[in-house]
Structures are given as C-alpha cells and as structure tokens.
Amino acid sequence: MKVDKNQNPFSCLVAQGVLSATSFAEACRTAADYNLPLAQVLLREYDLPRRVLQKALSVYYNCPVIEYDERLPVPPELITCGVKCDQLRAEGWFPLIKEGDGSIVIACTNPADEKLPARVAAWFGPGPCAFHVCLPDDVIRLTEAFMHAKPGHLIGTERTGLAFWRNTMAQWRTLLACYRTDLAQSRTALAVSRAGLSLITITFAYFRIHKHTSPIGLLASMMLIGCILGVIALPAYFKVRRSRLKPPAGQTLMEVTAAVLLFIENYHFLAAAESQKSSRDSMLARLSDFLREFCTIFYPSPSSLERTHLARERNLLAALRTISACNRTIYARARTGLAFMRTGAAFMSIGIGLNIYFGIGLDTIFYGVLVLIGVLLIFDGALWYIPTFRQQVDVSGLGSRFQI
C-alpha cells in the first residue's frame, strides 16, 4: 500500500471545503501540543461527522473502512491468544474477523504502517491478512467491548454488570412486594375481624333490648358467625404482628435499598459529577435526591453504543422504581398501623358505648375486655405507624422529568 507520507490523511477536507485551512492548521497544532490523534480533535473540537473522517481515511489509504459495532462476531481465538489490550491500543490495531480461508480482517488506524504485518504475524502466524482502516477511538472501543475491560467505561461487557444490578434490584422489589402482600393480608384480616365484631355487637345489643321476644336460634347463629369471623382473622394478624419485631423493619428497608443501589458508584461516574448535596434527614430521601441528577439519556455516536447508554438509563429508572417500592412498603406499614388503630378504636368505642347504654352489670367484664383489646390494638398500631411516618419520603419529584 503506497501513500504519500508527507500528506496528512485529512488534508483533503480543506480541498473539499469541509474545513478551512486555518481551522485545520489549528487542529493539527492542538493534536501535536496535547499528543492526541488528529481525528479525535476534529471530532470533539470541530464537530465533524465520523463518516466524513472515515471517507477521508478510506480514500487516503485506498482500503475499506470499518467501525466499531458490538454485533461483530469476533472469534474467541483471536482475542484469547495472549495479545494484550494495552498493546493493541498502543499499536492501533485489533483482529476482527477470521474468514473461511483463514485470512484475518484487521481494523487498524494506519494500514500503511510497514511494521504492522509483522506485529500481526507474531500472534497469528504468517497467514494472509486484510487491513481495514478505522478511527483511533474505534480501536479503544473494540478492546473495551471484546477484551473484558473493567466497568467504568461505555463497553459492551458493562451491560452484563448492569443487567446483574437490574436483577438484584428486581429481586429486592419482589421481596418488598411480598412484604406488602402480607401487610395487605393483615389489613384484610382486621377488616374481617371488625365485621365479626360488628355482628357480635348487633346481636348482643338486640338480645339485651329484646330479651324476651328475641328469636334465640337466629341470634345464636349470628353470634356464631360473628365469632367465626373474629377467630379466622387472628392467624393473619398474629403473623404480621410477629413480623414487626423482625426484619425488614422500617430502617432495615431503607438500609437494604441503599445497599442495592450501590451499583451507581461503579457505573455512573458520580465522583466527577457536579450535584447539589441533599440536606434531608432520611437516608432514602437523600438517595432519591441524588439519583435525579444522573437519570439522563445520552445519544452517542456511533449509534451502536446507544444500547449501553440506554442500559444505564434503564438501571437508573430501575433504581427510581426501587426507591418508590421501598416507599410504598413504608406507606403499607403505616396503613397497617392505622388499620390496627382503627380496629382498636372500634373495639374500644363499642365497649364504652355498651357500658354507657346498659350500665354496670354482669356484662361489664365483657365490656372491659372489649375496651382492653381496643387499647392494646391502638397501642400496637401506633408502634407500626409512628416510625414509618417519620421515614416517609416525598418522591413526587422523581417523576418530574417526565412531565410535559
């Protein structure tokens, strides 16, 4: 491959009117001063399209152009032969395709490099090779995507790590959903218990008022049904009552949720980001304020990298859903506490009302038991409600960026 070494591969851009001679000279000086590839300066500082630079390279080197694409079927034997990632970047080439006849397609930044065939042959033997030109950042992306670089860059393998964290968050949200289901079951049990109490109260009051004319069989049946409704609700109540003393408690919910969201430290460049620190007291509230700064879609070039950006976006949206799920669980605990208090108020009110209406007598013990049960339920509900009330987080701002 014969090229004019005294001519710059991108000098044709000036002749084509894509770039002025002054701007091109400034770009060359910037690349030399900062030891950067000229293509990188033209891309970032002068916003030239990649396809324009690729066409210039293809014409200059008289060879096909190739571009990073995560869908490229890179054979494992080409990247597991011992060749090093840093070496490929420094020398500016990457083995991409192995044809059926054994020839290897090499993506390189300088196909005219006389030392390049020997470097390739040192790893893959003296077989035939086809050299295709690419931009310098394509070599970096290829090594990151196919040689398992560590997370922290926009790489193909990063999506595996992001998928792992999405699964972790999904598992935690599933546990939260199961916990909310248990709480809803207890609230339903309390509602059934209140229905049974109402039936018992109506039957008892009717019997006391119409003692001599009451249909005993009907009243006994109603009383039995009321007792059954009250008893069948007890197992669900005691189940959730015991769970209050075990994880996940309110503080545990927030701590585990925060731990589940630790992936953002490795995947979202938070150390270098500029964001306002949240001054709110709750851990979950500070975390929700923190995430809003990093939930943004970027549209990279080339478009094949967009999947990685969108994977990061999906993870941040999953993080917002996880925070919302934790909040829903906290609210569910508060609603359960209110259901306990509401049931207790019903027991206590009925006991006091019956005692006032019928006066002190042999049934006073029954009235006192109702009042005592009511007081205990109200106290128990307060133990559920007050801590969760303090931990509630205002998440109304999390969805504000979707508002038109």
Determine the Cα–Cα distance for residues 20 and 17; give it in Å rounded to an integer.
Answer: 7
Determine the Cα–Cα distance for residues 101 and 258; give it in Å rounded to an integer.
Answer: 54
Locate tokens 């409704």: which residue? Answer: 229
pLDDT, tens only, 49-77: 899 999 999 999 999 999 887 767 788 78
3-state class (DSSP) for residue 97: strand
Average pLDDT of the residues in 77-84:
82
Determine the Cα–Cα distance for residues 148 and 157; give it in Å rounded to an integer.
Answer: 6
Determine the Cα–Cα distance for residues 323 and 173; give it in Å rounded to an integer.
Answer: 9
Structure token digits, residue 14: 């000036």
| pLDDT-derived band at 281, boundaries 50, 70, 90 | low
| pLDDT-derived band at 135, boundaries 50, 70, 90 | very high
Q: Is the dihedral of CA 174, 179, 180, 186 positive or negative?
A: positive
pLDDT in the model for residue 273 = 45
In this model, does residue 155 exceed pLDDT 50? no
pLDDT, tens only, 172-187: 888 888 888 877 877 8
Pairing state between β 129-133 and 104-108 = parallel
pLDDT in the model for residue 79 = 80
Which H or E run contains 94?
strand 93-98
- Spatial strand order of the sheet with 129-133 comes to 93-98, 104-108, 129-133
φ/ψ of 235, rounded to 5, equals -60, -45
- Name the burial class of residue 106, with classes exposed (0-12), middle (13-18) and buried (19+) by CB atoms within 10 angstroms of its CB: buried
pLDDT, tens only, 349-376: 878 887 777 777 667 787 788 788 888 8
Asked if residue 248 has a cis previous peptide bond (ω within 30° of 0), the answer is: yes
Q: Which residues, 6 or more positions from 6, have their beta carbon under 8 angstroms from its beta carbon?
A: none
pLDDT in the model for residue 211 = 65
19 versus 287: the higher-pLDDT residue is 19
Q: Is the dihedral of CA 245, 250, 256, 257 positive or negative?
A: positive
Q: Where are the alpha helices (DSSP H) in 210-298?
A: 216-232, 234-243, 250-260, 264-267, 283-291
Nearest to 177 by CA among 281, 36, 325, 386: 325
Locate tokens 């790489």: which residue? Answer: 155
